[in-house]
Amino acid sequence: MPDPQQPWYAPGPQQQPVPGNPYASEGGGPQGFGPPTVPTPPPPRRRFGRGPVVAAVVALVLVVVAGGVYALSDQWRDEPAKPVAKESPGPSGSVSPSGTPAAGGPELSRIPTTKEVAAARKPGESTAWIADDRSDLPKQINKVHDLWIVGDTAVQALHRKVTAYRLSDGAEVWNVDLPSSVCETPANPTPDGKVVVFHHERPDNERGNRCNQMQMIDLKTGKQGWHKKLDEPGDEDSTFIVYSAISGDVLSVARGQRAITYRMDDGSKLYEIPREHKNKCVPDDVAGGAARLLVTSNCMIAIDRSKNYGQVRELDPRTGKVLWRYRMKTGWSFGSLISMDPVVFTTYNNEDTASDWRITVLDPGGKHRTTFDARAKGFEHCAGEGAGGNIQPCRGTGVGKGLIMLGGTEQVGAYDLKTGKFLWGIKDERLRRLHPLRAEDGKSMLIYEAAGPSSPGRTFLMGPRGAGTETNVVKHPVATAPWEYEMSMGHTAYVDGRLVLTSTIVSGDENRKPVREARMLSFAPSAP
Return d(Cα 327, Cα 297) in angstroms, integer: 9
State the chain's mean pLDDT as an integer. 81
Helix (H, G, I), strand (E, B) or coil at 210: coil
More confident residue, 35 or 478: 478
Percent of the chain topping pLDDT 70? 76
Q: Per-residue confidence at 234, pLDDT binned at 50, 70, 90?
A: low
Predicted confidence at residue 68, as pLDDT, reads 31
Predicted confidence at residue 432, as pLDDT, reads 85
Sign, Cα dihedral of 458, 464, 466, 472? negative
The pTM of this model reads 0.81
Predicted confidence at residue 398, as pLDDT, reads 96
Q: Per-residue confidence at 19, pLDDT binned at 50, 70, 90?
A: very low
Return d(Cα 233, Cα 258) in angstroms, integer: 8
E strands, 70-180, in order: 127-131, 141-143, 148-150, 153-158, 161-166, 172-177
Amino acid at 196: V
Return d(Cα 523, Cα 130) in angstroms, integer: 9
Domain boundaries, the chain: 1-35+92-136+393-528
pLDDT tens digit string along 139-148? 888 999 999 9
Pair 332, 378: CB distance under 8 Å: no
Interior angle at CA 115, CA 111 and CA 120, nearest 5:
85
Predicted confidence at residue 450, as pLDDT, reads 94
In this model, does residue 126 exceed pLDDT 80?
yes
Q: Per-residue confidence at 64, pLDDT binned at 50, 70, 90?
A: very low
In this model, does residue 29 exceed pLDDT 50?
no
Predicted confidence at residue 156, as pLDDT, reads 98
Counting DSSP H helices and E strands in the chain, the numbers are 4, 35
Going from the C-alpha of 242 to that of each of 52, 146, 396, the distances in angstroms are: 15, 14, 23
Return d(Cα 350, Cα 307) in angstroms, integer: 9
Pair 69, 200: CB distance under 8 Å: yes
Pair 475, 117: CB distance under 8 Å: no
**Least confident piece of the model among 213-217, 253-257, 467-471:** 467-471
Predicted confidence at residue 98, as pLDDT, reads 33
Predicted confidence at residue 24, as pLDDT, reads 27
Going from the C-alpha of 386 to that of each of 78, 338, 395, 428, the distances in angstroms are: 8, 12, 8, 21
